Chains A and B, each alone.
Chain A
Amino acid sequence: MKTMSKLLTAAALTGALISTTTQADTLDIGVLLPSPIADVGWSHALNEGINAVKEKYGDGVTVNVVENIQEGPDADRIMNKMVGDGNDFLLLGSFGYMNGGLKLAKRNPQKSFIHASGYKTAANFSPFTAKYYEGAYLMGMAAAELTKTKKLGVVSAFAIPELISTINGFTLGARSIDPEITVDVIWINSWFDPAKAQDSAKALLAGGADVLFSNAQDTPSVVTVGEEGGAYVFNLNSSMKEYAPTKYLGVVKTDWAPFFVASVDAHLAGNFEGQNQWLGMTDDVVVVEDWSDDISADMKAKIAAVQADIVSGARHVYDGPLVNQAGEEVIAAGTRLEDGAILGIDWHVEGVNSPLPK
């Protein structure tokens, strides 16, 4: 009897030990974000994606989020600390974390990293970017119907390929409906500068634009100017409709959930592979919604048809013929610009008035 109870105790103890080991197996995920999570914007959208991971794995993951960290030596230290604390999967939410993150990834080959908007890869380091231009193309179609002045305006952050390709998509979409439309761009060289963004939006309105595009601005600055100035306006990442209740054209939303969940799945399965992740409507990452009621049913049907073609692959925003600002044909009819070329694009299509900053 005594031996029996001893055995039972031993069994119970072993059970306890096993269950603690399973608990120690929870995946710690470190998330570094460049701006406050807030109610809207870039960091908000990334955080929503991470929430989906939490939802799927429940107690199986612990997420440690550090928000509002500027790029630079301090960001590098915080990443290091995250890895040191035992986070095995890292989400680095800003382009500026690239070089520090890559060094860290090379020193820690067993950990997995996903990095927003960059272009460098390693075996355990995947940069990811959304094909915003797909959604912007559809917004361009809607804008073409609603504009009276045939002038569209863009307030844009940095002249990087991701944003250049979005402006091109917007322009191509608008001119597919009305080839007389032109687009003006103001580069403010900041993700987060409400005062400058508002001034630029007002300047665009004064120049005759009656549809505004807030390209990668993390605040509702441009959106509120649109509402006040009577111009339709749309933005990226997350809906800002509440800031422009009557003049909101729609949102090119990013839903990172499918990609984040898939990446964590791959890490846990041990087959995470570092590669350029270039995600669009087909991947359910780029989502277009909150359409304005002022868009006609006819146009909505046209947009839906184009959207279906993009998702099915029958059509691509960068299908030739494509003509650049100088009027030269860059891509001939029947061919299309490859993903790799879009990732490095440094030219505007015909119809964009403003020269690219050199």
Chain B
Amino acid sequence: MVFKLVKREHASQWMLLVTPLLAVLLSIVVSSLLLVILGKPVLLTMHSFFIAPFENFYSITEVFLKFGPLLLIAQALAVGFRAKVWNIGAEGQMIIGAICASAVPVYFVDSTSGWMLPAMALLGAIGGMAWAGIAAFLKTRFNANEILVTLMLSAIALQLLYYLLLGPWKDPMGFNFPQTVMFQDEALFAPLFSGVRLNTSIFIPIAFTIAVWLLMEKHFAGFKLEVGGQAPDAATYAGFSAKKAVWVSLLLAGFAAGIAGMSEVAGPIGQLQRSVTSGYGYAGIIVAYLGALHPIGIVFAAFFLAVLQIGGDVALVSADLPISAVQVFQGLLLIFYLSVYTLVNYRLQPARTEKTASQGVSS
């Protein structure tokens, strides 16, 4: 029998709150079973995931270090997703942002100017926006599918990064290893506290979140953006521009991802190297949806995913879990969350024929 998902007219608000808890509970049960099969300590693993990240000050700062870029990218992507602009390429936009920002310390190795960091932020933002702008141009001019274009542009960005690291930007004293020089202090964000990696860049995602919340929830521009993407004809009729929705969505994401890339090279990494994104560009998509594309939901989702990743690292070291088991656990959580979320908002209805099914949707 074939089933069809039908949106519930009155999804229970209470259930929406219970959803994340239920998902966590289900994945704990299933992964505990897996841990027993693997012969690993169940309680210690759970402790590693959910408690250890908060057990000492250093871990807490590390959670926020991951929280920053996840939040920044997810907020920007969500604006686009609400306008039905599917930018899958934040990863590539982040890489270009990191590259452009790195140009400053790579070409001004000895500079101690206080303008280093602002210049890097500016270049990072411009780089990310330019990269996303290519997709916006191709979409608005030739109606090229932005999913494919942004995804492919990410692959190109990665090759560009490799080219620079193996060629012109290679550290001259680095014995041919593919990385740039270590950046000087003037090109790095100052740590918030001594001895931790969390730095002043954390304020950028927070400010950005407030701005997005004001734009989308309080401002008419947010509404126009959404309509422009969801119903281009209606938007044109009302005098809103559908093309503008595409441009604004992509440029905003490029801006955020570019700044996120800049914050990584000017933060915990301190140089440009082959792995600069830690997968934030793709994880940002998950965070955006986990947060139900809502600015406040995304704050919680980004924090949750950050805890999960730090907890995963702890489990690797303290509970002696293989990295694949950690990834399975994280994957289970997301799958259960999305399944529960779907079943709270939709109901399963047997779809015998096309006709009854379409009636179901319209009813």
Contact A358 B323 (CB under 8 A): no
What sequence of 0s and 1s flags, for each residue 32-56 of chain B, a beta carbon within 8 Å of any chain A beta carbon? 0000000000000000000000001
Contact A78 B317 (CB under 8 A): yes
Which of B273, B274, B316 contacts A78, CB < 8 Å? B316
For residue B56, which residues in chain A have a CB less than 8 angstroms away from its CB? 84
Judge whether B264 is part of the interface by a CB distance below 8 angstroms. Answer: yes
Contact A71 B273 (CB under 8 A): yes
Which of A74, A99, A357 contacts B271, CB < 8 Å? A99
**Max chain A Cβ within 10 angstroms of own Cβ: one of B175, B195, B274:** B175
Which of A30, A78, A95, A357 contacts B313, CB < 8 Å? A78
Judge whether B108 is part of the interface by a CB distance below 8 angstroms. Answer: no
Complex formed: what's the CA distance from A119 to B275 in Å? 20
Pick the interface stretch among B125-133, B176-184, B252-260: B176-184
| Shortest 6 CB-CB contacts between residues of A and residues of B | A72-B275, A73-B268, A81-B317, A68-B323, A160-B176, A66-B316
Complex formed: what's the CA distance from A161 to B175 in Å? 7
Q: Which residues in window 285-326 of B have CB below 8 A to A?
A: 309-310, 313-314, 316-318, 320, 322-324
For residue B309, which residues in chain A have a CB less than 8 angstroms away from its CB? 74
* Distance between A61 CB and nearest chain B CB, rounded to angstroms: 15
Judge whether B278 is part of the interface by a CB distance below 8 angstroms. Answer: yes
Contacts known (A73-B264, A73-B268); A119 close to B175, Cβ less than 8 A: yes
Contact A71 B316 (CB under 8 A): no
Which of B167, B270, B273 contacts A96, CB < 8 Å? B273
Interface residues on A, range: 35 or more
For residue B317, which residues in chain A have a CB less than 8 angstroms away from its CB? 30, 64, 66, 78, 81-82, 85
Which of B176, B197, B322 contacts A159, CB < 8 Å? B176
What sequence of 0s and 1s flags, for each residue 85-101 of chain A, a beta carbon within 8 Å of any chain B beta carbon? 10000000001100100
For residue B270, which residues in chain A have a CB less than 8 angstroms away from its CB? 99
Judge whether A198 is part of the interface by a CB distance below 8 angstroms. Answer: no
Looking across the interface, which residue of chain A has its beta carbon closest to that of B264? A73
For residue A64, which residues in chain B have a CB less than 8 angstroms away from its CB? 317, 320
Give the dominant DSSP class at B's interface: loop
For residue A81, which residues in chain B have a CB less than 8 angstroms away from its CB? 313-314, 317-318
For residue B58, which residues in chain A have a CB less than 8 angstroms away from its CB? 80, 84
Contact A346 B273 (CB under 8 A): no
For residue B175, which residues in chain A have a CB less than 8 angstroms away from its CB? 119, 160-161, 343-344, 346
Looking across the interface, which residue of chain A has its beta carbon closest to that of B56? A84
Judge whether A148 is part of the interface by a CB distance below 8 angstroms. Answer: no
Contact B278 A73 (CB under 8 A): yes
Which of B197, B310, B322 contacts A67, CB < 8 Å? B322
For residue B269, which residues in chain A have a CB less than 8 angstroms away from its CB? 72-73
Complex formed: what's the CA distance from A81 to B65 in Å? 15
A-B contacts, 18 listed (Cβ < 8 Å): A66-B316, A67-B322, A69-B316, A71-B273, A71-B274, A73-B264, A77-B310, A78-B316, A81-B318, A84-B56, A85-B318, A96-B273, A96-B275, A99-B182, A119-B175, A161-B175, A164-B176, A189-B166
Contact A160 B177 (CB under 8 A): yes
Looking across the interface, which residue of chain B has its beta carbon closest to that of A82? B317
Contact B177 A72 (CB under 8 A): no
* Distance between A163 CB and nearest chain B CB, rounded to angstroms: 9
What sequence of 0s and 1s flags, for each residue 170-192 of chain B, a beta carbon within 8 Å of any chain A beta carbon? 00000111100010000000000
What sequence of 0s and 1s flags, for each residue 346-358 of chain A, a beta carbon within 8 Å of any chain B beta carbon? 1000000000011
Judge whether A260 is part of the interface by a CB distance below 8 angstroms. Answer: no
Contact A358 B167 (CB under 8 A): yes
For residue A282, which residues in chain B have a CB less than 8 angstroms away from its CB? none
Which of B167, B278, B320 contacts A74, CB < 8 Å? B278
Contacts known (A71-B275, A99-B271, A358-B167); A161 close to B176, Cβ less than 8 A: yes
Judge whether B213 is part of the interface by a CB distance below 8 angstroms. Answer: no
Looking across the interface, which residue of chain A has its beta carbon closest to that of B271? A99
* Distance between A302 CB and nearest chain B CB, rounded to angstroms: 33
**Max chain A Cβ within 10 angstroms of own Cβ: one of B182, B264, B275:** B275
Judge whether A278 is part of the interface by a CB distance below 8 angstroms. Answer: no
Contact A346 B274 (CB under 8 A): no
Judge whether A147 is part of the interface by a CB distance below 8 angstroms. Answer: no
Judge whether A184 is part of the interface by a CB distance below 8 angstroms. Answer: no
For residue A82, which residues in chain B have a CB less than 8 angstroms away from its CB? 317
**Max chain A Cβ within 10 angstroms of own Cβ: one of B195, B271, B314:** B314
Looking across the interface, which residue of chain B has its beta carbon closest to that of A65? B320
Contact A158 B275 (CB under 8 A): no
Judge whether B208 is part of the interface by a CB distance below 8 angstroms. Answer: no
* Distance between B92 CB and nearest chain A CB, rounded to angstroms: 17
Contact A357 B166 (CB under 8 A): yes
* Distance between B151 CB and nearest chain A CB, rounded to angstroms: 19
* Distance between B269 CB and nearest chain A CB, rounded to angstroms: 6
* Distance between B58 CB and nearest chain A CB, rounded to angstroms: 7
Contacts known (A73-B269, A119-B175, A160-B176); A189 close to B162, Cβ less than 8 A: yes
Complex formed: what's the CA distance from A160 to B170 in Å? 12
